Structure 1
Amino acid sequence: MLPDLYRSTLRYASLLASILLSIASNAQQGLIANVAARKTVSLNGDWQYIVDPYETGFYNYRWQERSENDREAYWNTDVPENKTERKEHGYTDEYILQVPQDWNSQDPKFLYYEGTVWYKKSFNATLPSNNESVYIHFGAVNYEAHVYLNGQKLGMHTGGFTPFNFEIPRGLLREENNFLVVKVDNRRHKDAVPTLNTDWWNYGGITRDVNLITVPATYIQDYFVSLDRASIHEKQKTINGWVVLHGAIRSDVTIEIPELKVKTKAVYKTDTAYFSIKIKNLQLWTLQYPKLYQVIVSSANDRVIDKVGFRTIAVKGKQILLNNVPVFLRGICIHEEIPQEMRRANGRKDALQLLGQAKELNANMVRLAHYPHNEAMMKVADSLGILVWSEIPVYWTIDFANAEVLNKAKQQLQEMIQRDRNRASIVIWSVGNETPVNESRTNFMRELVFRARALDNTRLVSAALEVHNVNSTQTIDDPLGQYTDIVSVNEYLGWYGGLPNNCRNAKWAVKYDKPLFFSETGAEALGGFHADSLTRWSEEYQEWYYREQIEMMKRMPDNYVGISPWILNDFRSPKRNNPLYQEGWNNKGLFDQKGNKKKAFYVLKRYYDEVEKGRKSQ
């Protein structure tokens, strides 16, 4: 056998190589980090649109993609050259959609619509200097986006919940009368991520911010700043990181934390500049005191300011350690939806509502399901001291044997991590939810776990597994559990099987000696419907369910580290079609469709209060 030191060295070398590859891949993609810190012009607001279910604007009548200069293509002008020219498309202010927002909530005709909608935005612009470049950046478009400016295609992107940007070729942007056209297609596909079958609403449209970004020709494209996990034991902490510049010139790079009176230069290795800083009196980011420091990254021609919290997250034996102290995750799952308005959530105001509800519950952690949420959620979580589980939509039964599907999942994983790797609140990257156990699936998921660690080795990696009943024993033996840092499992004993009192005699068997986290549990209740506790769909049944679940959780083995029940709010789902109690809603929320607390809310809050009080007294 190899000596331990030699094996550790090989693992470190392999991990470092993977990190360098991921940085290089990011540089090739050109995804710009921290858009809010750049020189931007918002293109949010009114966009004209054309509904195009037959994709007439994209394909001709022979079902061939139209050429770029085809004047019947919907990305080209709708203004006739003269009175004899035939135009069969047009953009008008009679048809307006707001951006950012889904189209489903803006007009009844879009409620269930899945297909193509063309968006058009006219705008004026300040032209860049010879030493500047301009990008068009989208926070997210669901699901497939083709982007055209002034009749020229800039590129396309797939994936409904992650950012992307395209550089605008020099000379294409005009001072006046630019027209930006985006073909948006939210149709579900077997070879997509997520796939055809999901238990949430397929909100279509340009759902997050659109910005023009002006940057120097050589600019700070990406960076990572984090507290070295090993230094948590030391009085003098170490902050490590790296910076990637876009452009051929190697410029001096400095990192500054003014409050700590720290300023240092990064040192290049290949095309990446690395730094390591020793700091005294560093105030850690904690749940009680979520300290954020201003961090300034500068090069010769560029400067980016961020707010970063410094903390460590690790697994030791059967515990999760936050800053080297055991932490119990008092969690709740959240969909990116505002139920009272039946729309996608987006922006700081919505994040404050959702995370404010979680704080009312006395939750210290949220599982953002089942896809990357908008960037404001992480920033608000940073400021409030809430831990975050962030996930890509590898959900249920995607095509695990398809290499292209794996590439799509890796792309979304990379875009999620690149956007949010500097957010202290995120402690768990999740690579999927409730995926069926078979060899191709396990190989697929294992690749994602390895990829997540290569992109960011400072956080935990997990996935929500399923529990299986074997001879009255709830068994967790999914082979994926050997690769994840914690064993996370969804269980619904008393809702999808038996009654809540079946929890009283439940026995649990966990194959892996790792921290055990319950990533989902829950029962549906129609808000305001009251009956006895045996009546399904009543608030009393859901209340009973939570009481029995909590008593079962209290009997869990000592590797039990937390729970995030399903779910904070009721949410829309076309799969839920009981005409009395659902009508297109999944009603497992602790808040109902109108934002009212259900009886189960108070049961879970009492449990969380007791847990918090008990841990403080230890």
Structure 2
Amino acid sequence: MHELSHTNTTEPTSERVHPRPQLTRRRWKDLSGVWQFAHDDDNRGIDARWYEHAETFDQHIVVPFPPESRASGLHATGYHPVVWYRRTISVAPQDREGRILLHFGAVDYRAQVWVNGRLVAEHEGGHTPFTADITSVLSPDEAQEIVVRAEDDPRDLAQPRGKQDWELEPHGIWYHRTTGIWQPVWLEFVPRTFIKTLRWTPDTERGRLGLHVRLNQSPSRPLRVRVRLSIRGEQLADDTYLLHGQEVRRDIELDPVRFKADRKELLWTPRRPNLIDAEISLLDGDIVVDEVGSYTALRSAGVRDGRFLLNGSPYYLRMVLAQNYWPESHLAAPGEGALRREVELVKELGFNGVRIHQKVEDPRFLYWCDQLGLLVWGEMANAYVFTPEAQRQLTREWLDVLERDYNHPCIVTWVPINESWGVPNLEGDAAQRAFVRSLYHLTVSLDSTRPVIGNDGWEVVEGDILGVHDYALDGKTLRERYGSAEALEHTLKAVQPSRRNFYLAGHHRKGEPVMLTEFGGLSHAPTQADRWWGYGTLPDTDALLSRYEEIVTAVLDSPVISGFCYTQLTDTEQETNGLLREDRTSKLDTERVRAINTRVSRALQNDVIAEIHALADERRREQLRASHQMDTVAED
């Protein structure tokens, strides 16, 4: 019997954004919605074989919202370290020609999955995806039973948890917890031999795209991989490669004449998020065995001579810190539209980037950053203690993060650790310094195409960018600290803005760019009945806007600061230091904020030239479009 089964041309089950946008297939089935649910506070479900007893599930939950959230229908905010889910799905006979994969976007923190009473998957890591091939455990009947057990100890400080609170109620800068399923669950129908992973590596200097295709298994005979690339409907490449084993690596050269002539129209930037669409087919002779959709971009990120570089040119980062936490759904977005809207809000405020704080965001959010043009700093959710278990858990999950998000052009920097979280004695413990250094080098070894910051904020051990956290509350202080190269060095060595040593013993400057990666944190006093928290509180919104302009202008006037990240985008739980409220309405005049954020920076004098050229290019394109429309009317 033939080893390979061929793609069924059934129409897609949904027109929504695919839960894995970088590798899509037409045939997938969303499993969001109402599931049966049960708390297991005594942790007896495994011994009692709950995966075989439907009567145990005495509640219902709306997936993918965490049980602590209102959106889930439960709003159970207490300590519940173990929870269970159950759902019956149908798999039609025509869907069993190949293999059936059950995907989970993220389950916090440990997960076990049974299908029809058979254990099919175990996974550790609250922010990263996993997959089970359930083909061999399907019952002959159409109905199939899925059971999920999630374990998330709220008081385990060795577990990478980000800003999820370990206390019963949120305090300080920590928020309500997110337990269990909080990203999409879906079925995917694939052939027996299928494309498992894609990896894109752009080369902006030579106009090439590196491609690594890996199958789920080695085929019994050589197959071919066909790659078709296009941009805005115009074909860039159509190449076919022989695949002898399980994988193939190739450099795809784009038309050199076109690349040289239209380089700006091919490169990805926040102003012009030019994405290259990709169709990858697995061929057995002339028969299509598998076919997936993807996208990539020509974009490079790096540092040199104290500047951040985008596509080889100095680029000033104007970022905002985003918790991406919603009051009704916690770490999960309340709906797909909320993910796109979050990106739009950041851009409307005049920022060109976002630093996702202590959270690995849903791939669909990154998709909209790719599509709409927003730079992202990818950050790991940290633990709070330094133990061998904490090291193991963080490292393993970080590896999964790097693999999942490598292809997104929007991501331009990696940050495995923030503010010494999980390494609380960096200055006094050589083992902790070695851990940060090892994370930096491990990240670079797996992705040498982006800058990496070993520890952001203070206590520099190793990194390509010096990220400084300074919550000075007035422009005068910021100008004193960052008004010259001499003032900067004095600030980092003697002032120590966060009352932490900035340079640890043994670190020597290597020309890294310096950025204020957290500053601001301004709030205004709400009604007396409300509780609030911020780094500095102003009496009203007028005073808040005035102070915001004062400190951002001071940073932009610095000749030695290469970028900033303002704290923060939205109010979150008791933190009321957002530019937006929790419901995403603006506290301040959006146009005023945008005008402040987009002022030319003194650090990059060529900002002025770049802006003039960009506006001139935009006008020329508008004139060409208008001319084309007039010609079309004349022809009609």
Residues 413 and 346 (structure 1), Cα distance of their counterparts in 2 relative to 1, 3 Å cut: farther
For the residues of structure 2 that align with 1:254 and 1:454, how far apart are their CA atoms?
29
Name the residue aligned to 1:508: 488
Name the residue aligned to 1:104: 68
Spell out the pairing of 1:288-299 with structure 2 (5 A cutoff).
288-299=271-282
Residues 91 and 385 (structure 1), Cα distance of their counterparts in 2 relative to 1, 3 Å cut: same
Whether 1:51 and 2:39 are equivalent positions in the alignment is yes
Spell out the pairing of 1:456-535 with structure 2 (5 A cutoff).
456-463=447-454, 465-467=456-458, 478-480=459-461, 483-494=462-473, 502-506=477-481, 507-509=487-489, 512=509, 513-526=511-524, 528=526
Shift in Å at residue 36 of structure 1? 3.5
Shift in Å at residue 229 of structure 1? 4.4
Which residue, 123, 127, 138 being the options, matches 1:172? 138
* Deviations 1:395-426, CA, capped at 9 Å, x for gaps: 5x332x41x43332232222222222222111
Whether 1:148 and 2:114 are equivalent positions in the alignment is yes
Which residue, 392, 405, 415 being the options, matches 2:400? 415
What residue identity is the alignment partner of 1:217?
R
Name the residue aligned to 2:84: 118
Residues 606 and 179 (structure 1), Cα distance of their counterparts in 2 relative to 1, 3 Å cut: same
Name the residue aligned to 2:564: 563
* Deviations 1:447-477, CA, capped at 9 Å, x for gaps: 222222222222222255234xxxxxxxxxx
Name the residue aligned to 2:595: 606
Name the residue aligned to 1:287: 270
Which residue, 48, 51, 58 being the options, matches 1:75? 51
Contact kept? 2:356, 2:376, Cα under 8 Å:
yes
Contact kept? 1:463, 1:488, Cα under 8 Å:
no
What residue identity is the alignment partner of 2:361?
H
For the residues of structure 1 that align with 2:24 and 2:377, how far apart are their CA atoms?
23
What residue ranges of structure 2 are gaps of 5+ in the alignment? 1-18, 167-172, 260-265, 284-288, 482-486, 493-507, 529-533, 602-606, 614-636
Name the residue aligned to 1:182: 148
Aligned length: 525
Spell out the pairing of 1:229-268 with structure 2 (5 A cutoff).
229-231=204-206, 237-249=207-219, 251-258=223-230, 259-266=234-241
Whether 1:589 and 2:578 are equivalent positions in the alignment is yes
Which residue, 182, 198, 203 being the options, matches 1:223? 198
For the residues of structure 2 that align with 1:202 and 1:342, how far apart are their CA atoms?
8
Shift in Å at residue 571 of structure 1? 1.1
1:592 counterpart SS class: coil
Deviates most, 150-159 or 253-262 = 253-262
Shift in Å at residue 522 of structure 1? 2.7
For the residues of structure 2 that align with 1:217 and 1:308, how far apart are their CA atoms?
26
Name the residue aligned to 2:611: 616
Residues 333 and 243 (structure 1), Cα distance of their counterparts in 2 relative to 1, 3 Å cut: same
Shift in Å at residue 109 of structure 1? 4.8
Contact kept? 2:319, 2:565, Cα under 8 Å:
yes
Shift in Å at residue 526 of structure 1? 4.9
For the residues of structure 1 that align with 2:244 and 2:374, how far apart are their CA atoms?
35
For the residues of structure 1 that align with 2:139 and 2:451, how far apart are their CA atoms?
43
* Deviations 1:498-527, CA, capped at 9 Å, x for gaps: x77543543432563211122212325257
For the residues of structure 1 that align with 2:585 and 2:42, how far apart are their CA atoms?
42
For the residues of structure 2 that align with 1:260 and 1:535, how far apart are their CA atoms?
53
Shift in Å at residue 557 of structure 1? 4.0
For the residues of structure 2 that align with 1:321 and 1:215, how far apart are their CA atoms?
40
Which residue, 352, 370, 382 being the options, matches 2:358? 370
Residues 502 and 320 (structure 1), Cα distance of their counterparts in 2 relative to 1, 3 Å cut: closer
Q: RMSD of aligned C-alpha atoms?
A: 3.1
Shift in Å at residue 359 of structure 1? 1.2
What residue identity is the alignment partner of 1:521?
F
What residue identity is the alignment partner of 2:385?
I
Whether 1:333 and 2:321 are equivalent positions in the alignment is yes
For the residues of structure 2 that align with 1:43 and 1:146, how far apart are their CA atoms?
17
Deviates most, 535-544 or 139-148 = 535-544
What residue ranges of structure 1 are gaps of 5+ in the alignment? 1-30, 59-65, 67-71, 79-88, 232-236, 468-477, 573-584
For the residues of structure 1 that align with 2:216 and 2:238, how far apart are their CA atoms?
22
Contact kept? 1:128, 1:134, Cα under 8 Å:
no
What residue identity is the alignment partner of 2:293?
I
Name the residue aligned to 2:501: none
Contact kept? 2:223, 2:244, Cα under 8 Å:
no
Shift in Å at residue 602 of structure 1? 6.8
Shift in Å at residue 600 of structure 1? 8.9
What residue identity is the alignment partner of 1:46?
V
For the residues of structure 2 that align with 1:359 and 1:366, how far apart are their CA atoms?
9
Name the residue aligned to 1:86: none
Residues 109 and 255 (structure 1), Cα distance of their counterparts in 2 relative to 1, 3 Å cut: closer
Spell out the pairing of 1:1-12 with structure 2 (5 A cutoff).
none
For the residues of structure 2 that align with 1:136 and 1:322, how far apart are their CA atoms?
38
Name the residue aligned to 1:444: 435
For the residues of structure 2 that align with 1:260 and 1:186, how far apart are their CA atoms?
48
Spell out the pairing of 1:340-359 with structure 2 (5 A cutoff).
344-345=332-333, 348-359=336-347
For the residues of structure 2 that align with 1:346 and 1:299, how far apart are their CA atoms?
37
For the residues of structure 2 that align with 1:108 and 1:46, how far apart are their CA atoms?
12
* Deviations 1:139-161, CA, capped at 9 Å, x for gaps: 01112211111111112212211
2:392 counterpart SS class: helix
Name the residue aligned to 1:380: 368
For the residues of structure 1 that align with 2:57 and 2:567, how far apart are their CA atoms?
42
TM-score, with structure 1 as normaliser: 0.77
For the residues of structure 2 that align with 1:98 and 1:452, how far apart are their CA atoms?
36
Residues 213 and 104 (structure 1), Cα distance of their counterparts in 2 relative to 1, 3 Å cut: same
Which residue, 388, 398, 401 being the options, matches 2:385? 398
